[in-house]
Amino acid sequence: MNRPAPADGFTLLEVLVALAIFSLAALTLLRMTGASLSQTADLDQRFERQVVAQNLAAEILTDPRAPSLGEARGSVENFGRTFTWVRRAELIGDNNSLMRVDIAVSEGGGSAVTLDVVRPAQ
């Protein structure tokens, strides 16, 4: 009996299974790329809020006059955008010789970055 020689190549079913596996892998990579881009943008915005908070802290630490006690609010423009800040100052330490200043910076009502500094209460 003569058998036909097996054909070289892939069957249609094998091609469809390979295509399905490749499609799932490609969709997973696209999803990961989207999540990575979103996280990168969030980190960039957080970094900018941190820079603004550090600038405000540098002003507080280098000013010979201590900031007023209690809470103060304001806004500052940096990176071409407007950031809002809240500063809370309170006396701490023995004989109230030190001042703790908490600075919170946010943009557009988003999450705030906080920074705490301590300076002489003079």
Token code pair at residue 70: 């209690």
Q: Is residue 3 part of a domain?
A: no
Q: Which domain holds residue 104?
A: 12-120
CATH number of the domain to which 18 belongs: 3.30.1300.30
Domain count, the chain: 1
Strands (E), the chain: 70-78, 81-92, 98-106, 113-120
Q: Is residue 2, in this structure, part of any structural domain at all?
A: no
* Listed range (1-5, 17-21, 69-73, 109-113) with the worst mean pLDDT: 1-5
Whether 77 is in a domain gets the answer: yes
More confident residue, 35 or 54: 54
5 vs 122, more confident: 122
Per-residue pLDDT band for 6 (boundaries 50, 70, 90) equals: low
* Residues paired with 108 in a beta bridge: none
Instruction: Give the burial class of 110: count Cβ atoms within 10 A of its Cβ; 0-12 exposed, 13-18 middle, 19 or more buried.
Output: exposed
Question: How confident is the model at residue 5, as a pLDDT?
Answer: 66
Query: What whole-number distance in Å separates Cα of residue 118 and Cα of residue 55?
Result: 15
> Above 80 in pLDDT, residue 40?
yes
- Percent of the chain topping pLDDT 90: 73
C-beta contacts of 38-41 below 8 A and 24+ residues apart:
none
Read off the pLDDT of residues 71-117 as tens digits, 9 standing for 90 and up. Answer: 999 999 998 999 999 999 999 988 889 999 999 999 987 789 999 99
